[in-house]
Amino acid sequence: MNTKTLIWVLFIFLSLTWGSSFILMKRSMYPMGDDVMVLGPFQVGALRVAIAATVLLPLAYKFRKYLRANNFWKLLVTGLFGNLIPALMFTLAETNIDSSLAGLLNMTTTFFVVLNGVMFYKANPTLKQLVGLALGSTGLYFVLSGQFNLEQTKDIRYAFFLFPATLGYAISLTTIKFKLSHVPSVAITSLSFLLILPLALIICFITSAFDPLMNNDNGWVAFGYLSILAVVGTAIAVLLFTKLISISNHIFASAVAYMIPVVAVFIGVADGERFPPINYLWVAMIILGVYLMNRKGKVRDAKSVEEAKAADSV
């Protein structure tokens, strides 16, 4: 499989996987689909990271040689801002806002990525990428503007918890792209999760995250949803996302945030929710925007591609 094909395969897989994560987060907290909470937001967030980190432990051991002093803090930043903080903030926000609204605000990841790249790494976006950002934003606004009702939202202030999450995604993504390009993508993912595992376990114990699994009749149902979210939607997905960052430009990689809510809406349609036909036009606009965000000549020069292949073979 050539690099361009791999980029799009990874992009589509991640869009589908993370687009499903909203309902999995919700079901992890409310497994029976009602208002009875089984696992709290911090319990879900911490357990999600702990399970994913445990799954990745064999890989972390294999790539332990990359856990050097010059990489330690960069890997910690990647794990903390790209995984632990968003895992906690998204579940906390979804206790009081609709998943569609959470998906809409997830698109701010791309804007933070552009700002981060310009301010700290002198990575100026091209005109086509800026046009892609504008098209994606416009299409996403129209798709989701009618998908949630603010009057039915329990507490709109909880939406602000998503901004630290999306800013964290941007910090993590640009750190990987510009500071950890010499480290194999598998090593970045597994070691960054290893470094945040102690913090996740501390939160688990502080919040008594294991108690509902043993004492609630629906505890193991919630754990089933959580396990899918942690293994597929976190461990495997983050591995592949890190690979996507390494072989594409950082703005295109962040464009996954545009497709996530679109996928979430389509899942809602399959579940019986209303989706006006005009919205398919806006979805096409989003896809065009994503395409333009990846138009920056060749993904990487030949030397960079060879270096990536050599690194990944270590």
pLDDT category of residue 273 using cuts at 50, 70 and 90: low
Q: Where are the domains of the chain?
A: 3-312
Give the mean model confidence (pLDDT) for residues 36-50.
Answer: 94
Pick 55 or 23 by higher pLDDT: 55
pLDDT tens profile 204-243: 999 999 999 889 989 999 999 999 999 998 899 888 888 8
- Look at residue 244 in the predicted model and tell me its pLDDT: 84
- For 140, counting Cβ atoms within 10 Å of its Cβ (0-12 exposed, 13-18 middle, 19+ buried), the class is buried
Taking 60 as the threshold, does the pLDDT of residue 297 lie above it? Answer: no
224, amino acid identity: G
- Cα–Cα nearest to 103, from 50, 25, 8: 25
For 17-50, b where at least 16 C-beta lie within 10 A, e where not — what string? bbbbbbbbbbbbbbbeeeeebbbbbbbbbbbbbb
Whole-number Å distance between alpha carbons of 149 and 153: 7
Q: Determine contact, residues 252/109, Cβ cutoff 8 Å.
A: no
Q: Give the residue carrying structure tokens 């030949």.
A: 302
- Look at residue 305 in the predicted model and tell me its pLDDT: 38
What whole-number percentage of the chain has pLDDT above 70? 79
Q: Tell me the pLDDT of the chain averaged across its residues.
A: 80
Helix (H, G, I), strand (E, B) or coil at 86: helix
Pick 198 or 107 by higher pLDDT: 198
Q: Give the residue carrying structure tokens 């609204």.
A: 101
Taking the whole predicted model, whether its pTM rises above 0.85 is answered as no
